[in-house]
Amino acid sequence: MIQAMRLFLIGIYLIYYYIKSLFLWPKAAAAGKTDHVRQLEFSQRHISGALKKILFLSGTKVTKKGLENIPKDRACLFITNHRGYYDILLGYTTIPVRVSYVAKKEMEHMPLIAHWMRLLDCQFLDRKDVKEGMKTILASIDLIKNGQSVVISPEGTRNSADQLLPFHEGSFKIATKTGCPVIPVAINNTNAVFEDHLPWVRSAKTCIEFGRPIYLETLTREQKKTLPEDVRALIQKMYDKNKKECV
């Protein structure tokens, strides 16, 4: 009964926010005509507020760790594991800098969400087309060069197991081609909110932790070669450590 009520309230809020967005989207686009950064900041501020309300309606409790590890003076590549749709909610309500997501191409056709993601310069990755996938990586490189941080999950798909999937090394080209810091991010238990019991939404304890930044200019050539495996190991370690907090 509680799960059905949560789903109902979230549905009502999404309808309300869709109507509200019809007025906000033109304002975001207008801001972008004179200053693209203003569009990004306007969009992220409004979408972050909306996602906080959805987390509240979902009964999702979020533990945040390591925010002090996020540099404020340069764009970063956030490398995260992928548990569920609520990963994005945790990210946009927690990360204190301008950020765009690399999301699966299927999200490009989702009403309401997709339009906001375009305004936020999110990139849609076609995992089945290598050529199109490379275009997405190149577009993300341009974002970093223009001062916009990027979030990507090298697992490539949602994973509800405790062991992280192998990382796609192409994701790290965004960092190696720009020299930006890499921030390992561990997310716990977002799948327990929604994916574990579709279509119901249940209250759950979640956690997002940001590891210390990895500065590529301090790495040896050999360390750069093993960067994907090393970052995966760091995220796995944080994930395992935080599991007990999400019971």
User: What pLDDT shows up at residue 111?
Assistant: 84
User: What pLDDT shows up at residue 1?
Assistant: 75
Distance CA 170, CA 211 (A): 21
Structural domain including 139 reads: 2-246
Distance CA 190, CA 160 (A): 9
Amino acid at 185: V
Q: pTM for this one?
A: 0.95
User: What pLDDT shows up at residue 44?
Assistant: 97
User: What pLDDT shows up at residue 187?
Assistant: 97
Q: Tokens 């404020």 label which residue?
A: 72
User: What pLDDT shows up at residue 246?
Assistant: 83
User: What pLDDT shows up at residue 238?
Assistant: 97
Q: How many helices (H) and strands (E) does the chain have?
A: 8, 7
Both tokens of residue 62? 């979020």
Give the domain CATH number at 46. Answer: 3.40.1130
CB of 11 within 8 A of CB of 5?
no
Number of domains in the chain: 1
User: What pLDDT shows up at residue 109?
Assistant: 84
pLDDT along the chain (247 residues), means of 10: 89 96 95 93 97 97 97 96 95 96 89 92 87 90 97 92 92 95 97 91 96 96 95 97 87
User: What pLDDT shows up at residue 175?
Assistant: 96
User: What pLDDT shows up at residue 157?
Assistant: 87
Please report, for residues 128, 152, 173, the alpha-carbon distance to residue 79 in angstroms, rounded to integers and kept in the order given. 21, 5, 12
Q: What's the Rg (C-alpha) of the chain?
A: 18
99: phi then psi, degrees, rounded to nearest 5:
-150, 145
